[in-house]
Amino acid sequence: MRSSLAWDRIGGIFAFEPVRVSAVLRLPLILLIVVLVWVWEVDSWLPSVYAVVLGSYAVVAVAWVVIVFRGPVPRWADWASTAFDVLVILVLCVVSGGATAALLPVFFLLPISVAFQDRPLLTGVLGLSAAVTYLTAWIVYSKRDDTMGLPDIVYTQVGFLLWLAVAVTSLCFFLARRQKRVMALQEVRRQLVAEAMQADERHNREVAEHLHDGPLQTLLAARMEVDLLRESKPDPALDMVYDALQDTAAMLRSTVTELHPQVLAQLGLAPAIRELLRQFESRGDYLVEADLEDVGKPESQALMHRAARELLANIGKHANATEVAVTLRRIGDRVVLTVADDGPGFDPEVIASRLAEGHIGLGSLLARFEAMGGALDIDSMSGRGTTVTVTSPPETIT
């Protein structure tokens, strides 16, 4: 079972943009065109040319699906692909003779196929193009067949197409306005979360500095005094006090490091995660496989480091695992961290219920990554371990 939350996904890998939806919907549309013309019992003009055009259209459509799902596509692809559809349908009508009437439903579908895009002007242009090209096809057909002429019903159908163009453009306009408002609210949310995280980091740093310069130094001085007393006057009670001070100092150092990791601030994300893995191995009998690419000091390194720490802590507490694999990569303007274990796995759906019960560790991470524009994807199933893929928000590459 998989569970994921994300603001937006990486370019063409994680996103499911309108152009990708159109690319998929185009394939059954081509199949419907083939069926329409095949069952329409009319004499076709230049059937071989028609077959070549439709066959080429199908090949291009399949290739386009592969392209849009393999990587990001330019912004103009949203309308250019639909404009190409209009052109191909016009050519098919011109070369298929009586099949013009059979292709009538296709012209009504074309404006609807672009209505969900967020560019009302282009949606209107494409909707108008569908009406104009449909009328053009009928004019060409009537000129080619003097006995047919141009039926009056064609003008009514063109009127319906024009109305449809206005309707889908209006729909697109309101959808675009709503999307703009939603994006503005999401940006405000992202800024608020970012400011809260920065304030949290500043507070943690101040507390860490206070603990390091105050209580920890006092504790170390007391340990030194006890050590001097032990040397001058050996006493088992002093040994116990010294050991207690030693353990307390170690725990206090660990707390200071957790609040403000010096390795992360000075050396970057990969060394800091490597240090987390060293500490993780020392706390249990684990076989750890690490493949950490040097990603420098990304803008979201504090959030990514927190995710790595939380995930390793969860493995230590709940996973009952023996093998752990951690990878760190930079993919485009994102940093991707993967943590996998061979434990018994769990149902990711329980995260929401545990969050309601006050267990905020992993649920808090999910909310933070969603708000910041990153993603945290959990792939887990009972009996086959857990793999968590953490994707950072977009980074500013200089």
- 93 closest CA partner among 125, 154, 61, 46: 46
Would you state the torsion angle of the CA atoms of residues 128, 133, 136, 137, taken in this order, to the nearest 10 degrees?
-150
Q: For residue 54, what pLDDT is reported?
A: 82
Condensed to tens digits (0 to 9), the pLDDT of residues 84-133 reads 887 887 777 777 655 566 676 777 777 776 666 677 887 888 788 888 88
Look up residue 331 and give its two tokens: 């993919």
pLDDT band at 355 (very low <50, low <70, confident <90, very high): low
- 290 closest CA partner among 275, 306, 307, 303: 275
| Cβ neighbours around 105 below 10 Å, total | 12
Condensed to tens digits (0 to 9), the pLDDT of residues 9-56 reads 333 333 346 677 778 888 888 888 777 767 765 555 566 777 788 889
Condensed to tens digits (0 to 9), the pLDDT of residues 316-331 reads 887 788 889 999 999 8
267-272: long-range contacts (C-beta < 8 A, 24 or more apart)? 268/294, 268/295, 268/296, 268/297, 268/301, 269/295, 269/296, 269/297, 269/298, 269/301, 269/304, 269/305, 269/328, 269/335, 270/294, 270/295, 270/328, 272/301, 272/305
User: Of 36-40, 70-74, 253-257, 320-324, where does the model show the most confidence?
Assistant: 320-324
pLDDT band at 335 (very low <50, low <70, confident <90, very high): very high
Q: For residue 97, what pLDDT is reported?
A: 59
Kindly tell me if the per-residue pLDDT of 346 is higher than 70. Answer: yes
Q: For residue 353, what pLDDT is reported?
A: 62
Helices (H), 233-316: 236-259, 262-267, 269-282, 301-314
Kindly tell me if the per-residue pLDDT of 3 is higher than 70. Answer: no
Q: How many helices and strands (H and E) does the chain possess?
A: 15, 6
Q: How far is CA 1 from CA 4, 341, 347, 378, 380, in A?
A: 10, 15, 7, 8, 6
Kindly tell me if the per-residue pLDDT of 74 is higher than 80. Answer: no
The enclosing H or E element of 118 equals: none
Question: What is the spatial distance between Cα 125 and Cα 120, in angstroms, rounded to a whole number?
Answer: 9
- 107 closest CA partner among 64, 60, 57, 160: 160
Question: What is the spatial distance between Cα 102 and Cα 85, in angstroms, rounded to a whole number?
Answer: 16
Concatenating the DSSP letter of every residue in 348-391 gives TTHHHHHHHTT--HHHHHHHHHHHHT-EEEEEE-TTS-EEEEEE
pTM above 0.85, yes or no: no
Question: What is the spatial distance between Cα 115 and Cα 175, in angstroms, rounded to a whole number?
Answer: 9
Kindly tell me if the per-residue pLDDT of 333 is higher than 60. Answer: yes
Whether 86 and 126 have beta carbons less than 8 Å apart is answered as yes
Kindly state the average pLDDT of the residues 140-148. Answer: 72
User: Of 88-97, 358-367, 379-388, where does the model show the most confidence?
Assistant: 379-388
Mean pLDDT, the chain, integer: 78
Q: For residue 41, what pLDDT is reported?
A: 56
Q: Give 132: exposed, middle or buried? Use CB within 10 Å, 0-12, 13-18, 19+.
A: middle
Kindly tell me if the per-residue pLDDT of 7 is higher than 70. Answer: no
Question: What is the spatial distance between Cα 187 and Cα 190, in angstroms, rounded to a whole number?
Answer: 5
Q: For residue 339, what pLDDT is reported?
A: 93
> Where in the chain are the domains?
12-189, 214-259, 262-391
Q: For residue 102, what pLDDT is reported?
A: 66
Kindly tell me if the per-residue pLDDT of 2 is higher than 50. Answer: no
Kindly tell me if the per-residue pLDDT of 276 is higher than 80. Answer: yes
pLDDT band at 398 (very low <50, low <70, confident <90, very high): very low
The enclosing H or E element of 336 equals: strand 334-341
Kindly state the average pLDDT of the residues 285-292. Answer: 89
More confident residue, 228 or 254: 228
Pick from 12-26, 204-218, 246-260: least confident: 12-26
Q: For residue 200, what pLDDT is reported?
A: 75
Q: For residue 361, what pLDDT is reported?
A: 66
Architecture of domain 262-391: 2-Layer Sandwich (3.30)
